[in-house]
Structure 1
């Protein structure tokens, strides 16, 4: 475990892959819980609604890991500013 921790701290790609794997496992677990949840009261049950919210958060985190981050520069201060050229 110590080797994996050291690799995650020094290799960003390893850390991203590790995070993605953990999020995919979490999503699978949440999906299993939702699939096994009793159906008669699932629409008005706070616990089921919490599972939906958690699933949404995990999906958003997975999507964020897949996106290329925007890095602002003086010529492109926001994403819609166009491509910087010289």
Structure 2
């Protein structure tokens, strides 16, 4: 699992590109899906939890087509990854 956050110009437009072109590209690098949340404080920030391993993420991040997809989706900067600290029951 990977947690990432980014700011976007327009959340609705971001979701449209994220769910189509972005999904195709992520899937080609092994992503099994994701769940997206809007930040409760910063309305232009979104969070995504990916069912993805680090190798797949790195392949996506270094794919030469990825910057264009991020630009098309309206990212205002590069996505940042949350630091994994552990898994706990209940």
Normalising by structure 1, we get a TM-score of: 0.26
Q: Over alpha carbons, which structure has the higher Rg?
A: 1
Going by fraction, where is strand more abundant, 1 or 2?
Answer: 2
